[in-house]
Structure 1
Amino acid sequence: MVIKAWFDALTAKQARIVAVLGMEGRRHDIDFIITCRRYDYVEEVLDMFNLHYECVGYHGESPREKLIRGIERQIALLDVIRDFDVHVSLTSPDAVRVAFGLGKPIIALTDTAHSYFVNKLTLPLANTIIAPSAIPMSEWSRYVSSAEIDKIRAFDGIFELMWINRFKPTGDSIARLGIRSKEFVVIRFEESRASYYGYGDRSRLLIRMAKSILERGYYVVMFPRYPYQEELIKSELGLFLRLGKLIIPKNMRLDGIDLSWHARLVITGGSTMAHEAALLGTPAISYFPQHYYIDDYLINKGLPLYRCVDEDCLNVLESVLRADITHVDTNSVLSRMEDPTRLIINEIKRLVNEGK
């Protein structure tokens, strides 16, 4: 019997998760039905892996708009998803609500204990929660009752291992951009309008960091998340754009992992790109302003990940660029970490078999 697993991808990271699950699932008679939300680089990543999917709805920005968009999307998903055995997502509130309403088992993947609103809406409804062991169980007690704490399955690793372990560098991405390995820095803006991000806008700090890097002679490849961030780049760094030293990729289907592999440094206001780069051995700076257990986990393992907040970021940037290290061999560290793919596949099979 083929198991039909529904995965709802809301971010590029989640698109990569389902790409790996789709490949591995075929070996276990699991067919993934993929939906997504129109946002950022989600469709670009799904297309890169030649996956069949249907994108439904949009994200909101204000609390009221998030609620309206969410309700609209839940209704739309009901029309798209008609037959499935189990739902899997990295805590998609809309999809979890639909799956729960239809009485289907739910597997919630999560590595963001700080995402209060999303976790409140999803984790209590999940049959299984899969999370890195780097995050203490006490963090999940805000969302999961003590009577249900055993539904959490912890693994000694991070989700990004799912695709980093399967990655082989090609150089295609830098060839498309016309730049050479190690002569550029990748910069990704913060997710300033996410429900969990209440720390104010850091865009101007990032512009200052980019200018410092450009003045050192490096190329910079920048990925804004919102139109206002792109407009700020154009107004503050327009000269470098015209000179071709600053690049904002558009519709190029770049492999961000390949780009990070070849970068001199990766800087991000989120976590995923920094974690991917550090796992690959590329120095990475995260300026996410809140304590993050996964960062501690990777740093303690000796991976080249650096943390900074506000003005200190300029000092951290200076010290990383001054250092001679441009790449770290991470193979021995990665071999001792747990890839959660098998755990997710096993939980899908277990929940479906128990429901027969």
Structure 2
Amino acid sequence: MDVSETELARADDDARRTPRGRPVNVWVDLASPSHPFFFKALTDSLSNVSTEVTVREKTETVPLADEVGFDFETVGKDYENPTLRKVGIPMRTAQLTFNAPAADVALSSRNAMCVLAAKARGTPSIHFTDNDICAYVDDLKAEELYHRLEAQATHNVVPKAFETSVLTERGADPDSVHTYDGYKEDVYVAAFEPDPTFPERLPFDGEEFIVVRPEALTATYVDADGSIVPDLLAGAAERDINVVYLPRNDGDEKFAEGVPSENVYVPDEALDGLELAWHARCMLTGSGTMAREAARMETPAVSFFPSTRISVDQALIDEGEIFHSRDAEEILDYVESLTDDDAEPDLTRAKRVRREVADLTARLVNESVQ
């Protein structure tokens, strides 16, 4: 281990302690699939805290919370039906208000349910977000209200690239907004330990591959007439580029129809996204999270997101960490231009950001319990 790695390990071990004799009781509410990874990495970086966790049933959130090692209680669920969803959110907020664990402080991410329940219980809250755009659809009042309620947290923690005026316009006290120099993906990417045998699970005999994840065409924040994925897959096959294709839903599977199966692999079961990002030549996605994850571990990343981009995505594009295009040929030209040095992942930068976010969180927790 060289000097820099020793310093990183020491900094990770030297977690901030609260000034109280007993551990601080921290309530963590996980509402979406990305939350288990983020909050497990964050809370593991803190000391002298006792963590209790609640989880909403939403796609893979419950099994992922179990996978990362959280002990938790499942409270409420998400609904695919828009009408039921409007009922489900206030219902779950009420459930949390009456049934959440006793805590000194609550932690959540893009989660008005936890913020409101904590406020009703008189519990200080620390809320993490990186989304400064509500939705593409105009006058989506429920979405606007949800984001406005999120901003009522005791403390709001956001990346420096985030447009902080959005939070104050939603009603947040300017003094409640705290920034860090990095991105939320850094926090859990920094804790990632790659498996060198992972490529053996793929049918490419150790050859290089890219990952393709389609756009979320049905989401309220997306405005697109169609997907460019069929052109990406067909073009990759023509160039003899191996692809791990990750459909979002059954309707996305048709994009791979007619493409030679020796070039495009559609997994029968879920594959670890961070393992894919670490081992891939390039990560291509129609949304933001997987591109940011890859970029922050310094794997080449492409976004073909079709709508107005949130500030953190635009910042990474402006900084050259993510390549953005809606032209399949241009994207594949970019992939073929990558060198071995370009595709050499590294976690040093992410570890620095995780230390900064952990230190900031510890300071806010301490302020909340004094």
Q: TM-score, normalised by structure 2?
A: 0.80
Per the alignment, residue 338 of structure 2 pairs with 324
Q: 1:43 to 1:63 in 2, by over 3 A?
A: closer
Per the alignment, residue 338 of structure 1 pairs with 353
Per the alignment, residue 246 of structure 2 pairs with 223
Q: Secondary structure at the match of 1:318?
A: helix
Q: 1:314 to 1:98 in 2, by over 3 A?
A: same
Per the alignment, residue 78 of structure 2 pairs with 59
C-alpha distance in 1, partners of 2:241/2:291?
Answer: 19
Per the alignment, residue 148 of structure 2 pairs with 120
Equivalent position to 1:273, from 290, 300, 309: 290
Equivalent position to 1:23, from 30, 44, 68: 44
1:158-191 Cα shifts (integer Å, max 9, x gaps):
1111122233322343333344556222122334
Equivalent position to 2:56, from 11, 32, 37: 37
C-alpha distance in 2, partners of 1:63/1:37?
Answer: 17
Per the alignment, residue 186 of structure 2 pairs with 161
Q: 1:198 to 1:232 in 2, by over 3 A?
A: closer
Q: Is the 8 A contact 1:171 1:258 kept in 2?
A: no
1:295 is the counterpart of 2:319: no
1:221-276 Cα shifts (integer Å, max 9, x gaps):
23333x3xx2341x3424558x3643333445x33112111112211122111011
Per the alignment, residue 129 of structure 1 pairs with 156
Per the alignment, residue 13 of structure 1 pairs with 34
Query: How much does 1:342 deviate?
Result: 2.0
Q: Is the 8 A contact 1:15 1:46 kept in 2?
A: yes
Q: In structure 2, what residue type is equivalent to 1:334?
A: R
C-alpha distance in 2, partners of 1:272/1:182?
Answer: 25
Q: 1:7 to 1:190 in 2, by over 3 A?
A: farther
Per the alignment, residue 143 of structure 1 pairs with 170
Equivalent position to 2:232, from 209, 231, 237: 209
Q: 1:182 to 1:37 in 2, by over 3 A?
A: farther
- Report the aligned-residue RMSD: 2.8
Per the alignment, residue 88 of structure 2 pairs with 69
Which structure shows the higher helix fraction?
A: 1
Q: Is the 8 A contact 2:246 2:267 kept in 1?
A: yes
Equivalent position to 1:259, from 266, 273, 276: 276
C-alpha distance in 1, partners of 2:352/2:324?
Answer: 21
Gaps of 5+ in 2: 1-21, 135-142
Q: Is the 8 A contact 2:37 2:188 kept in 1?
A: yes
Q: Is the 8 A contact 2:79 2:88 kept in 1?
A: yes
Q: Is the 8 A contact 1:213 1:220 kept in 2?
A: yes
Q: Is the 8 A contact 1:173 1:255 kept in 2?
A: no
Aligned residue pairs total 336
Q: Is the 8 A contact 1:181 1:262 kept in 2?
A: no
Q: TM-score, normalised by structure 1?
A: 0.83
